Amino acid sequence: MALHLIFHSRSLEDCLLYADPGDDLVLLGDGVNAQEKLSVTAFILKSDAESRGTMVPSPHKFINTAGLADLTEKHEKIVSWPA
């Protein structure tokens, strides 16, 4: 099980091609703008969503930086998806 860090909405499609079922996805930075395009549940860094005005009700789970740290400790494999 891997943790995918999506830093830009343009990276979402590439990530979804390689992510396995059961992997966790985190939207952060400009990646939070992709939350409406996701058909699977993801984690969203709350501070990034707030700063970009994208705090909308969604099936996704908003986390803080402590939650992000917990996720990184939980996963052996972490994949970054930059712009």
Give the CATH number of the domain where residue 71 resides. 3.40.1260.10
Separation between Cα atoms, residue 50 and residue 48, nearest integer Å: 5
State pLDDT tens for residues 16-73.
Answer: 999 999 999 999 999 999 988 888 889 999 999 999 988 877 789 999 999 999 999 9
Single-letter amino acid code for the residue at 70: D
Would you state the pLDDT for residue 14? Answer: 93
Range of the domain at 48: 2-81
Given a contact cutoff of 8 angstroms between Cβ atoms, the answer to whether 5 and 26 are in contact is yes
Under a CB-based contact definition with an 8 Å cutoff, are residues 42 and 23 in contact?
no
pTM of the model: 0.92
Q: Which of 29-40 are b and which e, b meaning 16 or more Cβ less than 10 Å from the residue's Cβ?
A: bbbbbbbeebee
